[in-house]
Chains A and B, each alone.
Chain A
Amino acid sequence: TGRQSAASRKSSSKRQANKDKYSVLLPTYNERENLPLIVWLLVKYFGESGYDYEIIVIDDGSPDGTLQVAQQLQGIYGAHRVLLRPREKKLGLGTAYIHGIKHATGNFIIIMDADLSHHPKFIPEFIQKQKEGGFDVVSGTRYSGNGGVYGWDLRRKLISRGANFLTQVLLRPGASDLTGSFRLYKKEVLEQLVDRCVSKGYVFQMEMIVRARQLGYSIGEVPISFVDRVYGESKLGGNEIVSFLKGLLTLFATT
């Protein structure tokens, strides 16, 4: 109409033309305190960006009442924005993704940690990067550009960089941050990858990128800041390092 300003005509036609919808998968276990905060941030940044989205909370029977908080959030933001797809007990991350994908109505899936180490402010950057390059996967990286970490001491940084160097030498994966779990995937790409991946934990995230390369998918990167607030409580121990090395060598020998 004649009354619309040029700016609002442009932005409303952008929203109409853009049929993309982004489903954020949030697997949770005992995140009663963090869940409201991460949802608030997601609503804030998606709201400001104008992209269509939904948040799928996959709670694995948390004893601390995470699901009850999730229900309250659903009441506040609406069942079309906050979806609850809980499970009975703590099952793996891979199955959480499969479970989440089944209920996702978006054509893009964003996976991230629910403990506030990943900040939703980067999501519009992921989306922008994906549009620019038509990427199948966009991976947040802590190791390149102005990506970084808060809350790690020298020991943790050394282990992290050392492990990443070893991974680069052995696997030459074409991505700078293999163990990161803040990523945007095209939905059908994520389905294909989760189907093929067999590892657990850190190595699962590595395997996803390695298999993506094998299948010829394109991977873009966006530097992110990772704010670790739990490092003080759960130091990276010998067990985790050993299982990481075992997983890395398995990928080395099988892919």
Chain B
Amino acid sequence: MTKLLEWLLGVSVVVTAWGLLTFDLLDLKVPQVYREVVWPMPVYLLVVFGCYSIATVGYRVATFNDCEEAAQELQAQIKEAKLDLKKKGLKF
């Protein structure tokens, strides 16, 4: 199954469950309290996911390692390499 189909399946299951509970389609006589909680769930979950996404990406950008030492080491090795290659006869 492709990821798209997995998502569509998952979304269908969630939407069906939500619809059944909110509109009492199976005539389960679910208590009003539960229906009032379930009814805004989709929007609530989207908002939660949105906040989670922003927080996660923000955290990851803030803690993205800056490799200063790697850049300096590379510069030093470039100089060393050029000298050594010239000695070995390389014409740049």
List residues of A whose CB falls within 8 A of some B CB.
Answer: 33, 36-37, 40-41, 69, 72-73, 75-76, 116, 119, 143, 146-152, 154, 157-158, 160-162, 164-165, 169-172, 225-227, 251-255
List of A residues within 8 angstroms of B70 by Cβ: 119, 148, 150, 225, 227
Is the C-beta of B88 less than 8 angstroms from some C-beta in chain A?
yes
Chain B residue with the shortest CB-CB distance to A249: B4
The A-contacting residues of B in range 41-78, CB under 8 angstroms, are 53, 56-57, 60-61, 64-68, 70-71, 74, 77-78
In the complex with contacts A150-B68, A150-B71, A151-B71, A158-B57 CB distance below 8 A: yes
Top 8 closest pairs, chain A to chain B, by CB:
A148-B65, A225-B70, A225-B67, A40-B81, A150-B67, A150-B71, A253-B4, A161-B60
Is the C-beta of B34 less than 8 angstroms from some C-beta in chain A?
no
In the complex with contacts A227-B70, A255-B3, A36-B81 CB distance below 8 A: yes
**C-alpha spacing A227/B92, complex, angstroms:** 23
Q: Is A148 touching B57 in the complex (CB atoms < 8 A)?
A: no
**C-alpha spacing A150/B74, complex, angstroms:** 11
In the complex with contacts A165-B56, A171-B3, A227-B71, A76-B89 CB distance below 8 A: yes
Is the C-beta of B32 less than 8 angstroms from some C-beta in chain A?
no
Is the C-beta of B14 less than 8 angstroms from some C-beta in chain A?
no
Is the C-beta of B85 less than 8 angstroms from some C-beta in chain A?
yes
Q: Is B64 touching A157 in the complex (CB atoms < 8 A)?
A: yes
Q: Is B61 touching A226 in the complex (CB atoms < 8 A)?
A: no
Q: Is B90 touching A149 in the complex (CB atoms < 8 A)?
A: no
What's the dominant secondary structure at chain B's contact region? helix
Q: Is B60 touching A143 in the complex (CB atoms < 8 A)?
A: yes
List residues of B whose CB falls within 8 A of some A CB.
Answer: 2-4, 53, 56-57, 60-61, 64-68, 70-71, 74, 77-78, 81-82, 84-85, 88-92
List of B residues within 8 angstroms of A158 by Cβ: 57, 61
Pull 30 A–B residue pairs with CB atoms less than 8 Å apart, ordered by A: A36-B90, A37-B82, A41-B81, A69-B90, A72-B89, A72-B91, A73-B90, A76-B89, A116-B78, A146-B65, A147-B65, A148-B70, A149-B64, A149-B65, A151-B71, A152-B64, A157-B64, A158-B57, A158-B61, A161-B57, A161-B61, A164-B60, A165-B57, A165-B60, A169-B53, A225-B67, A227-B70, A227-B74, A251-B3, A252-B2
Q: Is B77 touching A41 in the complex (CB atoms < 8 A)?
A: yes
List of B residues within 8 angstroms of A40 by Cβ: 81, 84-85
Expressed in whole angstroms, the minimum distance between the Cβ of A133 and any Cβ of chain B is 24
Since A158-B61, A161-B60, A227-B67 are in contact, a sample of 14 more A-B pairs with Cβ atoms closer than 8 Å, ordered by chain A residue number, is A36-B81, A37-B81, A40-B81, A72-B89, A116-B74, A150-B66, A150-B67, A150-B71, A151-B71, A225-B70, A227-B70, A252-B3, A252-B4, A253-B3
